[in-house]
Amino acid sequence: MSIFNDSNSFRNVGIKNSNNELIVMNINTSTDNLSFHSSTSDNNVDIMNIKTILNKDSNNDLNLSSFDGYSINPVIQINNITQNVNISGNLNITGNISYNNKKISIDWLDIIQASLNFDQFKNKLVSALT
């Protein structure tokens, strides 16, 4: 049984630009359509489903932000021009890291402890990544 069902799903309403027609999205015809859901099956929407998130202004970043009660702070910033990703908080990884479809498994502590200075650390790190 799916956790997304009629009792916890909400369809969104929009106005089509081309003809000002009012539409109600049919969330059952495509999983790509924007839909809202409640994890507790009540009227509290806490899940949003959509295929793609972007900032269509190519001169501005896409920001995934946090709110500390007073201000909105970008945590993940994606630059639309360079496609660089900046993370301004801790990155905790519980899975694998892949680079060019190659799995990277490195015991960082062993590399650091086995290095006497920065140049030696850098060389061990470069050899571990290649």
Rg (CA), the chain: 22
Domain that holds residue 68: 53-92
- Mark whether 44 and 10 lie in a shared domain: yes
- Do the domain assignments include residue 16? yes
- Mark whether 102 and 120 lie in a shared domain: yes
Asked if residue 33 lies in contact with residue 14, where contact means CB atoms within 8 angstroms, the answer is no
- Do the domain assignments include residue 1? no
- Mark whether 87 and 101 lie in a shared domain: no
- Do the domain assignments include residue 57? yes
User: In the chain, how many domains are there?
Assistant: 3
- Do the domain assignments include residue 34? yes
The phi, psi pair for 104, rounded to 5°, reads -110, 120
- Mark whether 88 and 98 lie in a shared domain: no
- Do the domain assignments include residue 103? yes
- Do the domain assignments include residue 28? yes
- Mark whether 111 and 123 lie in a shared domain: yes
pLDDT digit string (tens) for the chain, length 130 residues: 457 777 788 888 889 899 999 988 877 777 777 888 888 878 888 888 888 898 999 999 999 999 989 999 999 999 999 999 999 888 777 777 777 776 666 666 666 666 667 777 777 777 777 6
CA angle centred on 75, ends 53 and 64, rounded to 5°: 15
- Mark whether 105 and 86 lie in a shared domain: no
- Do the domain assignments include residue 37? yes
- Do the domain assignments include residue 81? yes
pTM (two decimals): 0.61
Asked if residue 26 lies in contact with residue 35, where contact means CB atoms within 8 angstroms, the answer is no
- Mark whether 25 and 58 lie in a shared domain: no
